[in-house]
Structure 1
């Protein structure tokens, strides 16, 4: 059996494809959930967060 051929390498790598897709899906869901929570937090709980941050940065840089 030849283990150095590209066909055997592709066959060996394709066995990890489901776990890779599960990991990528989990990471994508974590990022989506994080962005969703940030959007909810800064839109409905503290709607003036961006304006306050920008004005504080302008005041900090102007001093």
Structure 2
């Protein structure tokens, strides 16, 4: 989902350091109250909302 939103990461199915770095960047921008690099429910819900917004614009 992060790649779909425009982050430079490939889907590998592995939550590795690269994924953690991108999740941290996403959180800093969209959820700065808790930046920990963990794709928790809040992070995933925020990403879903953003992707839906993008689809609505197309």
Highest CA radius of gyration, 1 or 2? Answer: 1
What TM-score, normalized to structure 2? Answer: 0.33
Comparing both structures, which one devotes a greater share of its residues to helix? 1
The structure showing larger relative contact order (alpha-carbon pairs under 8 Å, at least 6 residues apart) is 2
What TM-score, normalized to structure 1? Answer: 0.30
